[in-house]
Amino acid sequence: MSRPLRIALVAAIPLVAALAWALCRLPEDATPKPPAVSASAPPLAPAPSRTAEPDNRPAPESVVPSTPAAPRNAIASSARSGSPEDSGLRGRPVEGPLSAEITTSGGVIRSAPDALGRFPRVNIAPEEEVRVSVAYAEAQPGDLVVVQAEDGGVLEGSRTALPLKLDADRRLRFAFKSTREGGIYRVTLRRGFEERRLEFWGGKEPVVVGN
């Protein structure tokens, strides 16, 4: 072996030794590993399931069929609501602070005034005389009542106005007679500031034709 070769081998020995020492210092497994999971770590919660949301929309309104309006009468009855045949007042007793009893050729009619002080209309024949008795339950005997025929006819045979006093029964009694002409006859009863009205219809009422 030549001298230069020996010198090169001697110089390489320390390098080989250093490389061997470095290889021994490397870890057995240099492959990177994932981080370890601790056993005490809480498990991951599962993803919440999607639930159906309640439908808050208002329910559709039910449709109710409308009731058709009743047709208007073409011809109204000649009997008015105030007539005894229609109101059923004939022969029926009436209770209240004020009531009337009218004796006609057709019978006795008992009635009471409405909120406006008007008694129901009574049908009578032309030139018929009727007897009227009006009871004032809340008045006093001797109270003055002025009776007046407003549309013709006569009271007690010949008068159109008649001052009368209530009797012991707190009643007012008089006779009224219509003329031969048909139509309405109003008789007013005035007691102080209180006013009531009787209505009669002489003859047959005309038929009322609706629109």
Residue (of 130, 100, 122, 121) closest to 112 by Cα position: 100
- In one-letter notation, the amino acid at residue 73 is N
Fill in the DSSP letter of residue 159.
B
pLDDT of amino acid 113: 95
User: In what order do the strands lie in the sheet containing 129-136?
Assistant: 107-111, 98-104, 129-136, 171-177, 154-155
Does this model's pTM top 0.95?
no
Residue 44 backbone phi and psi in degrees, to 5:
-70, 135
User: In what order do the strands lie in the sheet containing 161-165?
Assistant: 122-124, 194-202, 183-191, 144-149, 161-165
Average the pLDDT over 111-124 and give the result. 95
Q: What is the pLDDT of residues 62-89, one digit of tens each?
A: 544 444 443 333 333 333 334 444 444 4
